[in-house]
């Protein structure tokens, strides 16, 4: 199947499952980029229903090709920062990282972002992994029987991502000033992810900037908590050999460089967001 055929096939099945979106979908232009955006939106909207084998085969082929086109980044090959031999700092799209696990800043439903093509990391990770990720999260939440508490972690497969696993954690939502409870909850997110990764014998974990986006935790304070919690954890015996601080925005890259004593690259220009 050619790329456009794959997209058309997937959109057709999703619109069969969700006919309430057919009228809106018909307004999308017929070019490949617009139809691919429609596909992402429909995937974001789809509830965790049973998945057809033929849909999954085409979806996985499409997502795998897109993964290779974006370029996979080997987390093990990232250089360590000068201040700590087991820490790395990398600016870019976390869905490109080939690590044992990447961390997703989830919401308490733990099913991904249902807002079509939203810019949050939850949406990005679910969109790149495929619909199997929402299905696995749904099974975990059904077994749990209640919303995911702040500061805990759950592990799922990575599916079409380069990462083997995804660690899902719900960070604190800041209303007004940051409280002591907010700080403790954010530190718990990092500890819980590392503890669960170590329980499973994982060697590399890539953290996003938990709670700093939609949840409004101040970036600088969040970076300080992240760095202290991770370095404290790595003082103890653990399977984890490398922790990557993955940043996307320049503001976070600059904050982490300052905390880690790393120079700003000479070629650094405006960041991706």
CA–CA gap between residue 245 and residue 81 (Å, rounded): 10
CA–CA gap between residue 69 and residue 53 (Å, rounded): 24
User: What was the pLDDT predicted at 213?
Assistant: 83
User: What was the pLDDT predicted at 267?
Assistant: 56
User: What was the pLDDT predicted at 263?
Assistant: 87
User: What was the pLDDT predicted at 35?
Assistant: 98
Q: pLDDT of the chain along its 273 residues, tens only? A: 899 999 999 999 999 999 999 999 999 999 999 999 999 999 999 999 999 999 999 999 999 999 999 999 999 999 999 999 999 999 999 999 999 999 999 999 999 999 999 999 999 999 999 999 999 999 999 999 999 999 999 999 999 999 999 999 999 999 989 999 999 999 999 999 999 999 999 999 999 999 998 899 999 999 999 999 999 999 999 999 999 999 999 999 999 999 999 888 765 444 332
The ranges of the chain annotated as CATH 3.40.220.10 are: 73-260
Q: Work out the number of other CB atoms within 10 angstroms of the CB of residue 95.
A: 25
User: What was the pLDDT predicted at 266?
Assistant: 67
User: What was the pLDDT predicted at 123?
Assistant: 97
User: What was the pLDDT predicted at 273?
Assistant: 28
Q: Is it true that domain 73-260 has CATH number 3.40.50.720? A: no
Burial of 51 (0-12, 13-18, 19+ CB in 10 A): middle
Question: Which residue in the block uniquely carries the two structure tokens 């503890």?
Answer: 195
């Amino acid at each position: 199947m050619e790329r456009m055929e794959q997209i058309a096939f997937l959109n057709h099945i999703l619109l069969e499952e969700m006919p309430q979106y057919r009228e809106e979908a018909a307004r999308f232009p017929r070019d490949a980029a617009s139809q691919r955006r429609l596909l992402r939106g429909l995937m974001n909207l789809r509830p965790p229903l049973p998945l057809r084998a033929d849909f999954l085969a085409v979806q996985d082929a499409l997502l795998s090709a897109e993964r290779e086109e974006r370029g996979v980044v080997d987390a093990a090959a990232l250089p360590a920062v000068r201040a700590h031999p087991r820490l790395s700092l990398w600016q870019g799209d976390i869905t490109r990282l080939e690590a044992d696990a990447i961390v997703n800043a989830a919401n308490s439903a733990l099913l991904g972002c249902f807002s079509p093509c939203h810019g949050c990391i939850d949406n990005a990770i679910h969109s790149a992994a495929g619909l199997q990720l929402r299905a696995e999260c749904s099974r975990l939440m059904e077994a749990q029987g209640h919303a995911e508490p702040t500061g805990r972690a759950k592990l799922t497969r990575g599916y079409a991502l380069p990462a083997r696993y995804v660690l899902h954690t719900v960070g604190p939502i800041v209303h007004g000033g940051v409280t002591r409870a907010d700080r403790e909850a954010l530190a718990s997110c990092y500890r819980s992810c590392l503890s669960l990764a170590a329980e499973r014998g994982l060697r590399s974990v890539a953290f996003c900037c938990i709670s700093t986006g939609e949840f409004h935790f101040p970036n600088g304070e969040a970076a300080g908590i992240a760095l202290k919690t991770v370095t404290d954890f790595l003082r103890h015996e653990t399977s984890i050999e490398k922790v990557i601080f993955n940043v996307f925005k320049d503001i976070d890259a600059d904050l982490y460089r300052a905390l880690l004593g790393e120079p700003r690259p000479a070629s650094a220009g405006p960041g991706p967001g």
